[in-house]
Amino acid sequence: MQNTINKIEELSSTLKKVRPMKAEFQKKLDRKFRLEFNYNSNHIEGNTLTYSETELLLIFDETKGNHTLREYEEMIAHDVALQLVSDWADDKERPLTEANIKNLNEVMLVKPFWKDAITPDGQKSRRLIKVGDYKEFPNSVQLSNGEIFEYASVTDTPILMGELIQWYRTEEQKNEFHPVALAAILHYKLVRIHPFDDGNGRISRLLMNYVLLKNNLPPVVIKSADKRNYLSALNSADAGDLNSFIKYIAQQLVWSLEISIKAANGESIEEPDDVEKEISIWKKQAAQNVVNATHRSDDLIYEIYTNGVQEMFEQFADKHKQFYDLFHKSGCYTYKNSGGQEGTQWLTDEIYKIVLNPKALFVDAGEVPELAIADDTFRNIFIQVNLQEYKYNETDPFTIQPRLMIEFHSYKYEVQYGNKKIEKVYGELLNADERKEIIADCLKAVFAEIKVKSGNGKH
């Protein structure tokens, strides 16, 4: 724990020396933290907007994807709430109050809404969720082992929230806790009370960053991909080991400080840091050394598809649309085992349908194969954009068909695009940086081909 705190102090000192950073670097950093925090904090709680859809919504004020209106509203409102706590943090003399926290809940949840609920006797129900005030009904959560974890009672909540605010003000004045420890404990104490009907996790993370920003530290981003470790650290705190949670938050702050220093120095902040690179390389090497390799199955392909490939396919389709107006005919198709239909949704439906009901596709044919056969349906999936008949070269109206394919072999799978290939074993997923690089390479290749075939882009 102390080693992590020392690392934070060292990085904080370095960041202080390079501040203020150039306006263009600060703008880029602010945008990254804004997108990372809004996307991940909401994604942890079940919001289904992808990272690119979040960026489109918050930066360009445009919507994309098949999501509920509430998901869009809450993402925008969460962004407003983030700016609100940033404004509070800038006012060093402003005290934190219960009214502030209630207002934060009201801003973030937008308006009252109906939500599925379970009655005390286990019956399904629906309940109106009010915003901006403490809960009127008990709330609890079912743990992975089936146990019910109870938060503060409705009666105790106002008392405990008053005590929480008093505790925070006292500790802030005493200045004995390191800011990251104070932020982490405030986060944990509020989650442990769970004062609202909804939004408790998001508010806890917002208030945690309020404390960090007020102490001139960058915000912490809890990655949704790391949700299991985040919840594990919270569970450790529930069991009495609060230091484990403080250490977890401190480790995330190290990432924020390192990326802030990179931004200040004009370095790329889109690349993973050295530790992440080392872990990624180590995992690849470890996967290659597996003796008992995992065989292909629909469950594994479902995992691969839903953990990055679906979003990558959607980005592939979306990014290539910028070339559509150069051609007379354009379209995008997805394929399963070399048979396809228009749009990425078709492929998504096929994968979900087979995994959820392995025999469903065979019922109409009157043949229901053994589960072992039905559980190994896919040989390849791919997405292809058809750019047909280039508009500005009448003598040679060429066609380009960029493709992104995943071949599923018995004990490994390959991502193929252009003349490049990425090889993985089952259980190993494409990371965000790999997906981003693939899309960028595909776009560069298509653009280069268009320029060459059109005569260096002159028309």
The answer to whether 157 and 195 have CB atoms below 8 angstroms apart is yes
118 and 264 fall within a common domain: yes
Rounded CA-CA distance 282/273 in Å is: 14
Residue spans of alpha helices (H) in 175-264: 179-193, 200-214, 227-238, 242-264
* 55 occurs within a structural domain: yes
**Do the domain assignments include residue 458?**
no
Specify whether 378 is located in the same domain as 444: yes
Co-location of 109 and 216 in the same domain? yes
**Integer CA distances (angstroms), 398 to 393, 395, 449, 451, 453, in order:** 8, 9, 10, 12, 7
* pLDDT single digits (tens) 428-439: 899 988 999 999
* Tokens coding 53: 């859809």
Indicate if 24 and 135 belong to the same structural domain: yes
Identify the pLDDT of residue 291. Answer: 46
**How far apart are alpha carbons 289 and 270 in whole angstroms?**
30
pLDDT at residue 2 in the model: 85
Q: Are 177 and 323 in a shared domain?
A: no
Alpha-carbon distance of 442 to 382, in angstroms, equals: 14
444 and 318 in one domain?
Answer: yes
The pLDDT assigned to 180 comes to: 97
Quick check: 180 and 5 in contact, CB under 8 A? yes
CA 8/CA 220 separation, integer angstroms: 12
Q: Are residues 313 and 258 in the same domain?
A: no
Q: At what angle do helices 179-193 and 242-264 cross, to 10 degrees?
A: 130
State the pLDDT at residue 33.
96
Paired tokens of 94:
């402003």
Same domain, 83 and 168: yes
Residue 291 lies in a domain: no
Instruction: Please tell me the total count of domains within the chain.
Output: 2
* Whether 306 contacts 432, CB under 8 Å: no
| Whether residue 258 is found in the same domain as residue 322 | no
The CATH number linked to 160 is 1.10.3290.10
Q: What is the pLDDT of residue 359?
A: 41
Rounded Cα distance, 187 and 201, in Å: 8
**Is 94 a domain residue?**
yes
Which pLDDT score is estimated for 91?
95
Question: Is 279 part of a structural domain of the chain?
Answer: no
191-192-196 Cα angle (round to 5): 55
- Specify if 275 maps to a domain: no
Burial 400-418 (b: 16+ CB within 10 A, else e): bebbbbbbbeeebbebbbe
Residue 283 falls inside a structural domain: no
Residues 6+ apart with CB under 8 A from 266: 22, 25
> Do both 264 and 350 map to the same domain?
no
Report yes or no on 293 lying in a domain: no
Of 229, 250, 268, the position where a domain reaches its end is: 268
Residue 439: its pLDDT value, please? 94
Residues of the chain with pLDDT under 50: 271, 273-278, 280-281, 290-291, 358-374, 457-459
- Which pLDDT score, from 0 to 100, does residue 364 have? 39
Does 191 lie in the same domain as 68?
A: yes
Q: What pLDDT shows up at residue 172?
A: 96
For residue 167, the model assigns a pLDDT of: 98
- Does 321 share its domain with 264? no
What is the amino acid identity at position 345?
A: Q
* CB-based contact 330:385 (threshold 8 Å): yes
User: Residue 349 and residue 351: Cα distance in Å, rounded?
Assistant: 6
The SS3 assignment for 31 reads helix
Give the global pTM. Answer: 0.60
Out of 248, 268, 288, pick the residue that ends a domain: 268
CA distance 453 to 400: 10
For tokens 């349906």, what's the residue?
Answer: 377
148 lies in which domain range?
2-268
Last residue within a domain, chosen from 268, 287, 309 = 268
Q: Return the pLDDT at 400.
A: 95
Count the neighbouring beta carbons within 10 Å of the beta carbon of residue 51: 18
